[in-house]
Amino acid sequence: MTGMGGGVILIPALTLLGMDIKHAIALSILSIIATSSGSASAYVRDHITNLKVGMFLEMFTIVGALAGARITLTSSPRPLFIAFGVVLLGSWAALLLLGHQSWESAASQDSFSRWLELEGSYSDKALGKTIEYRGRRAYLGAPLMFGAGVIAGLLGIGAGALKVIIHDLVMGLPPKVSTTTSNLIIGVTALAGTSVYLASGLINPGLAGPVFLGVAVGALLGTRLLVRMTNQSVRRFFLFVLIVLAVEMIVRGIRGV
Amino acid sequence: MEGPEAAAPVEPNREPSRQLEMDALLSYILLYGVVISLALVTISLIWKWLATGQVGFVYELAGMNLYQFATTQIRTTLAGQIRPELLMNLGIAVLMLTPFMRVIASLVFFAAVSKNWKYVLFTSFVLVVLTYSLFLR
């Protein structure tokens, strides 16, 4: 959908239907492989995704995801509910504060980012021109992406919102590049997390099939619906959903489900 | 603002046509992986529904890694015991292998086409960690 809204909505929904939160997390992270790969496919074809930025940052997110998933396996459900709610609150705040600032190419690039060749260009169809950009502060982006990976593995979400913020604010990538590259990274990160959950027997194929299919159909319908809505109404809708789910998850965590 | 030529003097993979071909290949891997996996899951659910009148599967996987998972499925297929459950498992296996294949293709690209050894190293690291994770127990 919009780089957010997959797992973030799926997990509260599954737990409300009575599923144990760890099983919900495992199913969610499996479905995320599908949604992120599906949309990444289109963006890679249009040459917007930056493969180098993706590969470099994936080194950090996958290790984070493995660690995060391990933590979930040993954790009790209540802290997971609370952590989930807190991450939702964070996404809510990010959406509220960010939103519509304009992007400008970084004037200077640090030597580490230059060594990593973190630059590129893409043709922006909306603006009708080619945008050149240079990524910077990779030394800061990398450890932050490890953190995003931990959250992704821990809670079974793509943590797309978080990744986009790191790309945008820390590394100075243009919004389209950051969204599409984060999509590429999410697929691999989700795979690392899924492996841990599969090995621990938390993935129930009987439930995975219907959920996976439902998510795919939902993502398709969601995209159709989103293009008809204005950016403002999409944003307001997500702001509302995120705050409601955040409060709900935290309350359930505190009250013991 | 400086021009882009100030940033990177030598960059072999700027070779546009090769880069475009690579993007197309990665895009196909991702797309077909998801489509094949969705198709297997859909067929499995319809088959189950036709056979039993319900779409719910009641079975769990004992904890196993993808390697054991895949070999079990292949053995079952060779034994001719194709059941809805098998298609479902295959769908999940294909889905999990999709990003994995994408990383392998990226590695081949960095090594064979752009000869960018720095990124060969990075991509190999990702591949090793992912492979390790697939063999987790």
User: pLDDT of A71-83, one tens digit each?
Assistant: 998 888 888 998 9
Which of A173-182, A216-225, A232-241 is the most confident on average? A173-182
**Closest approach of A199 to chain B, Cα-based (Å):** 5
A102-128 mean pLDDT? 77
Torsional sign, CA B82, B57, A201, A25: positive
| A143-159: pLDDT as tens digits | 999 999 999 999 888 88
| Amino acid present at B86 | L
Let me know: does B13 contact B19? Beta carbons within 8 Å. Answer: yes
Q: Which residues pair with A129 in a beta bridge?
A: A124
Give the rounded distance of the alpha carbon of A140 from its chain centre: 19
Q: What is the pLDDT of residue A47?
A: 82
A75-104 mean pLDDT? 81
- Report how far residue A13's alpha carbon sits from residue A143's, in angstroms, rounded to the nearest whole number: 31
State pTM to two decimals.
0.85
Residue A124: its H or E element? strand A119-124
| B44-62: pLDDT as tens digits | 888 888 877 666 665 656 6
Confidence of residue B105 (pLDDT cuts 50, 70, 90): very high
Question: How many Cβ pairs closer than 8 A exist between chain A and B?
Answer: 177
Distances from the Cα of B106 to the Cαs of A37, B78, B101, in angstroms?
15, 32, 9
Contact at CB, B7 and A212, closer than 8 angstroms: no
pLDDT at position A62 over 90? yes
Listed residue (A59, A91, A72, A48) closest to A188, CA to CA: A59
| Chain A touched by B30 (CB under 8 Å) | yes
- Report how far residue B104's alpha carbon sits from residue B134's, in angstroms, rounded to the nearest whole number: 14
Interface of B with A in 40-59 (CB under 8 A): 41-42, 44-45, 55-59
Let me know: does B22 contact B107? Beta carbons within 8 Å. Answer: no
Distances from the Cα of A7 to the Cαs of A27, A67, A241, in angstroms?
9, 19, 13
| Chain A touched by B120 (CB under 8 Å) | no
Q: What is the pLDDT of residue B8?
A: 42
Let me know: does A235 contact A1? Beta carbons within 8 Å. Answer: no
